[in-house]
Chain A
Amino acid sequence: MAVGSEALAPSWREGRVTGWLTTVDHKRIGILYIVTAFFFFFAAGVMALLMRLQLAQAGNDIVTENDYNQLFTIHGTAMIFLFVVPILAGFGNYVVPLMIGARDMAFPRLNALSYWLFLLGGIVILGSFLADGGAASSGWTAYTPLSTEEFSPGTGQDLWILGLHLTSLSSLAGAINFIVTIHNMRTPGMTWMRIPLFVWAIEAFAVLLLLVLPTISAAVTLLLLDRQAGTSFFTGENGALLWQHMFWFFGHPEVYIMVLPAMGILSEVIPVFSRKPIFGYKAIAFSTIGIAFASMLVWAHHMFTVGMPDALQAWFMVTSFSVAVPTAIKIFNWLATLWRGHLWFRAPLLFCLGFIGLFTMGGLSGVMLAVFPVDYQTHDTYYVVAHFHYVLFGGSVFGIFAGIYYWFPKMTGRMYDERLGVAHFWLMFLGFNAAFLPQHMLGLMGMQRRIYTYDREGLFEWYNLVSSLGSFLMGIAILVFFWNMTKSWRSGPRVGNDPWSADTLEWYATSPPAAHNFDRVPYVSSSRPLRDLRERLRERGA
């Protein structure tokens, strides 16, 4: 479809720039998603560095209290809605049709709409700094009544709502597109138990988005009505808790929306760089479904201190524990895949190993937070900040970098610079731990979240300084990464179809693939069609 319409497109649509602006090709849209998301990542990262600069010492005066509150609000919002979710959608766009042997996504024009809505939403959210009174400053969670008109006058909060609406629409359209594509466009022979595990992850990602995004869309709509039309959904009695329930019913699955596709990337990369099949394909596929399901039952573990009955707290503790089991299955299966492999330490594998090491930490601190009496001491402190950065940065973002290095040769037809990739990994790994490990201690020492200043010295201040230094090390790592990408995209050495001797169909296409992806697709008789092909060739040769 897409191919046909592009072939017949007027010539102005094939220009260097107009070609990209008018594209409905899933690969180009995927790259647009990824590049745009990295732009927002950079912006949100600069906000993080400003915050760490402010917190490096007690009583610092680098940003004002108002500015600080806007910074952490937009940092969180942008990292989640403008970086992690859309970049994973970008990978899904680029890779899923290739992996299942399809020519494009099911609805190419809808796909383009998804991207442009995302870009628009991002511009609205970042642009809200220019609004009267500045950007939203009630946190990415926008708890009511703080985010209502009475306590947050000014258009920043309204623009935040608009931005969330736009990105939610983008994600909803994308989710429908992924589901229809995966269900209907698999090449002959590719049964559900043969689709790559990344495709399983994108399926779960899309289904979760479809199930929980309407809740946040409804919640922010009601908030907008409260602010602009004088309704009182969140301003009356119990309004505060209504928001928290609606927000976290979306917000907790959102965590798995951000983690599952990254886990999917690991399940692709680890076998290829261990030279082994994935250990326990079915267990990983089913644990993906299990995590997605359980993630919708745990939301109120974010609310242990709001005054819930003990029985409810116990229930949400147990459901939260239940997420840990399928997560542990994945970790053990990856370790078993490494076992007796021939580990090829290229950048994609390094980032996967970093993921396993760091995500384990985040998972275990998650178990500790789920124990509600312990949560009374750790909730809303830097312990939580450390926990979710281990999950979302040590987990998701390390997985994203594994994916970038892994698929860079496919997307550009060129190889990235390995030495810069390895340097990026080590700087990031060191910087990350220096930045976030001490934050566990800070939380237990009494540092609450979302504070622009503190007046304690000694060890408390030292931990903060180490954390700030670590964050700047991460900043350097990101610059190395950007330099590597820019340089290698222009002048990296050319690669063939399959530089990694990988297992899945995207490596059967040329690098970069033609607009129509494949001239023909080999019949799929296992979950590793490309290895099957190599084996057949070897047998024929022998």
Chain B
Amino acid sequence: MGRTIVAIVATGTALVLAALPIVLALVSPGGLGGLAPPDPATPSGEAINQLYWFVFGICAVVFIGVETALVLFILRFRRRSTTPVDAEGPQIHGNTRLEIIWTAIPAVILAVIAIVVLVRTPAVQATGGDRSDELVVRVEGHQFYWRYVYPDGQISLDTLVLPVDRPVKLELVSYDVNHSWWVRELTGKQDAIRGQVNELLLRPTAEGTFDGVCAEFCGVLHAVMPTTVEVVSQEEYASRIEQLSGQDQAGEAQLALGRQTWERTCAKCHGPEGQGDLGPPIAQNGTLVDEEALRDLLNDGLDTPGVEGYMPPVGRGWPAFQVQALIEYIRSNEDLAPPEQDGGGSG
């Protein structure tokens, strides 16, 4: 008897504990707190969410059915204190008709899910509407930052600016390891893999700022490789792109690209002032302003025997003007620039 009470109390506690996160999720502000993907800002994201709720609903019914049967059987068929120890239950070896039924039911349910998913698959990839003015942006995954290249060669790092209500095609590539671009409020993730170009189609329908991450483990700083997508009006998009530096620019725009490059790539490992963090200190190192040596280092990385860790080839795929912009920025920053007379030095 005492054991039964303990079991019931323990089951009750388990159920309450299990229900707690769900209750928390329901009462939490700002969406469903993890019961479903967040409200999407694209039609494809919306299609994914509809499928999620459809499959979730079916699975929830099956789950409740199986768990209820389990709990009922546990309560109903426990051995009573009056039952003799060696008493056997009815010696039922099976029931073919029953077994055929419960083989068929899951098969039919799964077939229904499969059909619905396949019918809805085009909606998940479609951007909706006219695609003639599609905007193509190249998305490069690097250890450990995102590099975006707009149609006219402008570059931004970690932050992607997109116009609202215009179909977008992201071309995902990688110059080193696998990455995965995931801005969950826009749509599902897609990997960036060396040697191939993956496409992700979307059409943002709401302005706003959306946070994303790298979802595929890509090395030591995988956890801190965020990205941000700013969806702005079409007019604002035009002026934002105008401000981004591309080729053949000098002065402020070039320095801005250089600063961005320093902050989003070098500084993540070497510290904001190049004072050293995960990587060694590099402030005032001669290589920083030696264009040829810097290009080689950025392209090949560095693995020094006896030194823990290594430097990834962070600058693979950069055009010359981005390296020049970085050098110009370093020259302009007296904490970083090496003393004038020294031309050489090594990384």
Which A residues are within 8 Å of any B CB, using their own CB?
A: 65-66, 69, 133, 137-139, 143, 145-146, 150-151, 153, 236-241, 274-283, 305-307, 310, 314, 317-318, 321-322, 324-325, 328-329, 331-333, 335-336, 338-345, 353, 356-357, 360-361, 364-365, 367-368, 371-381, 422, 426, 429-430, 433-434, 437-438, 440-446, 448-454, 458-459, 462-463, 466, 501
The reply to whether B106 and A444 form a contact with Cβ atoms under 8 Å apart is no
Are the CB atoms of A151 and B312 closer together than 8 Å? yes
Q: Would you call A146 and B48 a contact (CB within 8 A)?
A: no
**Complex contact A342–B77 (CB within 8 A):** yes
- Cβ of A356 and Cβ of B310 under 8 Å apart? no
Q: Which of A306, A310, A339, A452 has a CB less than 8 Å from the CB of B193?
A: A306
Known contacts A340-B92, A343-B74, A441-B21; A145/B180 CB under 8 A: no
Question: Mind listing 20 A-B residue pairs with CB under 8 Å?
Answer: A143-B216, A146-B178, A146-B218, A150-B313, A238-B196, A239-B195, A279-B93, A281-B94, A305-B188, A305-B190, A324-B106, A367-B113, A368-B59, A374-B55, A376-B189, A379-B188, A379-B189, A422-B3, A434-B17, A462-B24
Are A275 and B34 closer than 8 Å at their CB atoms?
no
Question: Bound complex: CA of A340 vs CA of B77, how far in Å?
Answer: 6
Contact B66 A380 (CB under 8 A): no
Determine if A459 and B91 form an interchain contact, defined as CB atoms under 8 angstroms apart: no
Q: Which interface residue of A139, A282, A374 has the most chain B CB atoms within 10 A?
A: A374
B121 touches A338 (CB 8 A): no
Which 8 pairs show the lowest CB-CB distances between chains A and B?
A: A376-B188, A441-B34, A451-B223, A307-B198, A237-B195, A280-B94, A276-B89, A341-B89
Q: How far is the CB of A527 from chain B (nearest CB, A)?
A: 9
> How many Å lie between the Cα of A331 and that of B313 in the bound state?
51
Given contact pairs A139-B217, A462-B24, A151 touches B176 in the complex (Cβ within 8 A): yes
**Nearest chain A CB to B219 CB, angstrom units:** 6
Does B138 sit within 8 A of A, measured CB to CB?
A: no
B301 contacts A by Cβ under 8 Å: yes
- Known contacts A146-B217, A342-B79, A501-B86; 18 additional CB pairs below 8 A are A65-B278, A69-B222, A138-B219, A305-B216, A306-B198, A307-B198, A310-B121, A314-B121, A324-B110, A328-B103, A335-B73, A338-B70, A339-B73, A340-B77, A374-B51, A374-B55, A426-B14, A434-B17
With known contacts A137-B220, A463-B21, A430–B14 Cβ distance under 8 A: yes
The winner among A146, A353, A448, A454 for most chain B CB atoms within 10 A is: A448
**What separation, in Å, do the CA atoms of A344 and B88 have in the docked complex?**
11
Q: Is the CB of B195 within 8 A of A65?
A: no
- Complex CA gap A336/B98 in Å reads 10
Q: How far is the CA of A63 from the CA of B325 in the complex (A)?
A: 36
A459 touches B188 (CB 8 A): no
A342 touches B33 (CB 8 A): no
Q: Look across to chain B and name the residue whose beta carbon is closest to the beta carbon of A466.
A: B21
A307 adjacent to B223 (CB under 8 Å):
no
B residues near A341, Cβ cutoff 8 Å: 77, 89
Q: When the two chains form their complex, are residues A380 and B216 in contact, meaning their CB atoms are under 8 A apart?
A: yes
Question: Chain A: interface secondary structure?
Answer: helix
Question: Are B176 and A138 within 8 A (Cβ)?
Answer: no
Specify which chain B residues have a CB less than 8 angstroms from the CB of A445 in the assembled complex. Answer: 33-34, 38
Given contacts A283-B94, A342-B87, is CB(A371)–CB(B74) below 8 Å? Answer: no
B residues less than 8 Å from A318 (CB atoms): 114
Indicate which residue in B70, B78, B310 contacts A345 across the interface (CB closer than 8 Å). B78
- Say which residue of A329, A333, A371 sits within 8 Å of B51 (CB atoms): A371
Residues in B neighbouring A365, C-beta threshold 8 A: 59
Contacts of A137 in B (CB 8 A): 220
Residues of chain B lying within 8 A (CB to CB) of residue A279: 92-95
Specify which chain A residues have a CB less than 8 angstroms from the CB of B18 in the assembled complex.
Answer: 433, 437
**When the two chains form their complex, are residues A433 and B14 in contact, meaning their CB atoms are under 8 A apart?**
yes
A-chain residues with CB within 8 Å of residue B107 when the two chains form the complex: 325
**CB pair B66 A441 closer than 8 Å:** no
Q: Are B193 and A153 in contact (CB under 8 A)?
A: no
Minimum CB–CB distance from A373 to chain B (whole Å) comes to 4
B66 touches A321 (CB 8 A): no
Please list the residues of chain B having a beta carbon within 8 angstroms of any beta carbon in chain A: 3, 6-7, 10, 13-14, 17-18, 20-21, 24-25, 28, 33-38, 47-48, 51-52, 55-56, 59, 62-63, 66-67, 69-70, 73-74, 77-80, 83, 86-95, 98-99, 102-103, 106-107, 110, 113-114, 117-118, 120-121, 124-125, 143, 172, 176-178, 180, 182, 184, 187-191, 193-196, 198-199, 211, 213-224, 278, 301, 303, 308-310, 312-313
**How far is it, in angstroms, between the C-alpha of A361 and the C-alpha of B18 when the chains are bound?**
12
Tell whether A340 pairs with B99 under 8 Å between CB atoms, given A331-B66, A381-B215, A444-B37.
no
Residues of A within 8 A of B3 (CB): 345, 422
* Distance in angstroms between the alpha carbons of A446 and B215 in the assembled complex: 9
A539 to B178 Cα, complex, angstroms: 69
Q: Is the CB of A440 within 8 A of B34?
A: yes
- A324-B110, A331-B66 known; A373-B33 Cβ under 8 A: no
B34 with A433: CB separation less than 8 A: no
- Other-chain residue from A69, A240, A280 in contact with B178 (beta carbon distance below 8 A): A240
Task: List chain A residues, Cβ under 8 A from B213.
Answer: 446, 448
A427 vs chain B, min Cβ distance (A): 10
B70:A328 contact, CB within 8 angstroms: no
CB pair A145 B70 closer than 8 Å? no
Q: Which chain B residues border A336 with CB–CB below 8 Å?
A: 92, 95, 98
> Inside 8 A of B78's CB, which chain A residues have their CB?
342-343, 345
User: Which residues on A sit within 8 Å (CB–CB) of B79?
Assistant: 275, 342-345
Q: Given the complex, which residues of A lie within 8 Å of B313, measured CB to CB?
A: 150
A318 to chain B, nearest CB (A): 5
Docked complex Cα distance between A453 and B70 (Å): 39
Give the chain B neighbours of A501 by CB distance below 8 A.
86
Question: What is the CA–CA distance of A363 and B83 in the complex, to the nearest angstrom?
Answer: 35
Complex CA gap A153/B125 in Å reads 39
**Contact A275–B89 (Cβ < 8 Å):** yes
Kindly report which residue of chain A lies nearest to residue B216, judged by CB atoms: A380
Q: In the docked arrangement, what's the CA distance between A434 and B19, Å?
A: 10
Alpha-carbon separation in the docked complex, A367 to B7 (Å)? 31
Quick one: which of A372, A430, A459 contacts B17, CB cutoff 8 A?
Answer: A430
A278–B143 Cα gap in the complex (Å)? Answer: 55
Given A276-B90, A441-B33, the answer on whether A454 and B188 have CB atoms closer than 8 Å is: no
A422 CB to nearest chain B CB (Å): 8
- In the complex with contacts A364-B62, A367-B59, A441-B189 CB distance below 8 A: no
| Least distance between B70 CB and chain A CB atoms (Å) | 6
Q: Are the CB atoms of B92 and A430 closer together than 8 Å? A: no
Q: B120 contacts which chain A residues (CB < 8 A)?
A: 373
* A223 CA to B192 CA, complexed, in Å: 21
A276 CA to B79 CA, complexed, in Å: 12
Do the beta carbons of B110 and A367 come within 8 Å of each other?
yes
Contact residues in A for B14 (Cβ distance below 8 Å): 426, 429-430, 433
Q: A277: which B residues are within 8 A, CB to CB?
A: 91-93
A336 CA to B301 CA, complexed, in Å: 62
Say whether B189 contacts A371, CB under 8 Å: no
- Say yes or no: B121 contacts A373, CB within 8 Å: yes
Whether B48 contacts A380 by the Cβ 8 Å rule is no
Chain B residue contacts of A433, Cβ below 8 A: 14, 17-18
A360 and B77 within 8 A (CB)? no
Q: Within the complex, what minimum Cβ distance (angstroms) separates B145 from chain A?
A: 16
In Å, the complex CA distance between A336 and B101 comes to 13
Q: With A343-B79, A441-B35, A444-B35 in contact, is A240–B223 under 8 Å at CB?
A: no
Question: Contact: B94 with A371, CB < 8 Å?
Answer: no
From known contacts A340-B77, A342-B77, infer whether A329 and B99 are also in contact, taking CB-CB under 8 Å: yes
Given contact pairs A325-B110, A441-B21, A444-B34, A373 touches B93 in the complex (Cβ within 8 A): no
Known: A341-B89, A374-B55, A449-B217. A459 touches B24 (CB 8 A): yes
Name the residue of chain A whose CB is nearest to the CB of B78: A343
Give bound CA distance, A445 to B308, whole Å: 35
